[in-house]
Homo-oligomer: A and B are copies of this chain.
């Protein structure tokens, strides 16, 4: 009995299927869920992707938008089987899970806590899209072009277009097979990588205009005041591309972005390249995250707060350099 047949046994006798993704959805959970949806349709099911938050507009090109249901209740409809995709634990799902029907949990996070009645977890997969690909490869119906396109997006998104170290030979094998199945690589590139909202460019413009460096270019930062963000209609904008750009400057070890989202309410993002543990740094200010990406929120005067946090970041960098010697620094 194939894994796909095992999963089918859970949804047998049902027509509708609820697909669930995690909060702040990304390309992997969306691509994986819609791929699964396309395939379920081909087998006679009626899948719906329930989600209460707005799906980021950058994913509006994924085939299968008509499956998305912006359902705002906390309780899901009773008696419809659930397939949760790319969700490490039920806490990342924005609904109550118990609705009297089976729960299937398909994910690649090593922290997955097996909340399903059936759990298909592979922590070695670069993306949940890889798991769905292997699952659907076993199915009777061939993987369709829209399914292949969604899976390709899922894998491409979670591997940074095959740049991150989670990319394996298996990832490449699957990507090649998806191409052979008709995944539309030009369409994906145009929409996933070559299409930036103007607001993103304006954010970069503002952030670079305010960019500063210290410690010989090892620390980079940018401060965006409430007035500036408000004047440019950027209060809800994502600064991910900005902080990536700051960190990518040669010689920079750590990058910080200060965003005053409301007067005196400041969100701070931290990124590091090789050695500074920004999780520890963010912890000191009540935040957290990972060693290379973290964040915190503080209240107070923007100038004073940024000065305080920057001083602490500089001290941490100085400590590290004193202990380990300066092996980074800008190319001359």
Contact = CB atoms under 8 A, between A and B. Distances in A.
Interface of A: 57, 60, 156, 160-165, 167-173, 175-177, 179-180, 185-186, 189-190, 193-198, 201, 204-205, 208-209, 211, 217, 245-251, 273, 330-331
Contact of A331 (B57, B156, B189): B57
Nearest to A167: B185
A162 B165 contact: no
Contact of A176 (B60, B169, B248): B169
A169 B245 CA distance: 31
Contacts of A165: 185-186, 189
Nearest to A208: B205
Given A161-B163, A169-B180, A179-B172, A211 B201 contact: yes
Nearest to A169: B176
12 contacts: A57-B331, A160-B189, A161-B161, A161-B162, A161-B163, A163-B185, A163-B193, A167-B179, A168-B179, A171-B176, A196-B248, A196-B250
A175 B196 CA distance: 28
A-B pairs with lowest CB-CB distance, top 4: A172-B176, A169-B176, A205-B208, A172-B172
B169 A179 contact: yes
Contacts of A247: 194
Copies, count: 2
A177 B170 CA distance: 10
A13 B57 CA distance: 63
Contact of A204 (B162, B185, B208): B208
A189 B163 contact: yes
A250 B208 contact: no
B201 A208 contact: yes
A301 to B, nearest CB: 26
Nearest to A274: B190
B249 A201 contact: yes
A116 to B, nearest CB: 31
A248 B195 contact: yes
Contacts of A246: 201
A37 to B, nearest CB: 23
Contacts of A193: 163, 248
Nearest to A185: B165
Contacts of A194: 247-248, 273
B198 A249 contact: yes
Given A176-B172, A179-B169, A208-B204, A198 B250 contact: yes
Contacts of A211: 201, 205
A69 B164 CA distance: 33
Nearest to A186: B165
A92 to B, nearest CB: 27
A98 to B, nearest CB: 38
B161 A197 contact: no
Contacts of A162: 156, 161-162, 175
Nearest to A177: B169
A180 to B, nearest CB: 5
Given A175-B172, A208-B205, A209-B205, A197 B250 contact: yes
